[in-house]
Structure 1
Amino acid sequence: MTSTETVDLRGAAATLLMTLYLRRQDARSPRPILGDPYAEEVYGRIEHDVHGLWQVTGDATTVACRAAILDGWTREFLRAEPDGQVLHLGCGLDSRPLRVGAPPSSRWLDVDQAEVVDVRRRLYTVPGHVVQVPASVTDDAWWEAVDPARATLMVAEGLFMYLPPEDVHAIVDRVVTGTPRAVLAFDAVAPWTVPVSRWTPTFRAIGTEFRSAWQPATFAHRHPSLRELDDISVYDEAAAHEPRPWVRPLFAAVARLPALQDAMRLHRFTTD
């Protein structure tokens, strides 16, 4: 009999269950966007009481589109740098190192809070070159696990909006200055979503909120060595890939409204 794991998290860490749930919904679709082959089994092994998390669960299409783009960027990096290093920050219960087939020659660090990594270790079997690091991404100590000689990709999905701006900039600085070549891939939210998050029923139920938003001028000033490769609206992607024909017009309408189009965007930068 397959064992089950009890998960009882609070704050931003609890959103990992919502993300996993939505990836499972996408995987169940006749036309999945991400098609996470691990989501169904892993979700089925979790016993949870997340205090109202499912009142508002969001949309599986946007979550799947976001993950699919980041997976694509990760595969592209590993093709170019098979001996490279991936820092998977705020990894939650994401199966990304298994989905993208990280080669044995690479080094992969899954970083998240200790209670999350504890559950993760019990739910996933990962190869030896994937290292599970139990630490807050804002801690200094875990950086000792980073190989400073390897080209490095930092992937941060659903993370930076929950951190204060100075913590986000500090993480970016560490990656840029601590590795010979860096690529950074992350999502960010529009400024108007920060105050709105404080009144979202789901976030209020689990005790979290957004704490920072995308400020392109500030980011460019703070990190002048970075060159932007991509800036993608998640809603543009959702409008293009939504599998339900009757929902596509809704995403297309949202994608044409500047405020909503910018609600969540994906960014990729490089030090090259």
Structure 2
Amino acid sequence: MARRRQLYEGKAKILFEGPEPGTLVQYFKDDATAGNGAKSGVITGKGVLNNRISEHLMLLLQDIGIPTHFIRRINMREQLVKEVEIIPLEVVVRNIAAGSIAKRFGIEEGTRLPRTIVEFYYKNDALNDPLVSEDHIIAFEWACPHDLEDMTSMAMRVNDFLCGLFSGIGIQLVDFKLEFGRSWEGDDMRIVLADEISPDNCRLWDNQTNEKLDKDRFRRDLGNVREAYQEVARRLGILPEAGNGGDMKGPETMQ
């Protein structure tokens, strides 16, 4: 079968036309970027690891009633997902001060926040994904109040579940980014979790040592990026069959 038509390419993934109407094939690349593309590189096998980790976490979240776009994993680098209307917001959930919030408020990185904080960022690379308020979101019609309520509620449920899951394998969930989309069935719409959940968009620190097991290793030139992703997969019990994040060249065709 000929390679399917490419619809979109982002920093870490490519979307292809799916085998049925309303579906897409999501392909995980090895490309790594930071600072909205200011820094870039390739981490061999990262896409394989992120595909498996995201599949595992999406399935667990579905089991507790979180609706997602995930349908099934196709192969080492691809997933079949539902086509959704992506809401142009990044929803960031923070448990511990790190990254931009530590710089913004002069908080020492690693300080546990008084309560979990949910932030919204407008998805626009040209504007460096600015932090926005709920008033901005509603005024510019990126989402309505009910959408915001659904996204915030789901983000907090995801946080509660993942904090417990990662704590059980000796990892602190410092913060993470979620994306949501509108899924339509006839005239009925519901908000679903989309994109991915992986060390690319989560800050994950070892409980004992605070060693970073996420993309900050790439952002901050700490080295051993793939090894950190492998460690997360190992603790989750889902290392790929090869056991080392083995590479697959190029998107695979659907059968």
Q: Normalising to structure 1: TM-score of the pair? A: 0.30
More helix per residue: 1
Q: Which has the higher contact order (CA 8 A, sep 6+)?
A: 2
More strand per residue: 2
Q: Normalising to structure 2: TM-score of the pair? A: 0.31
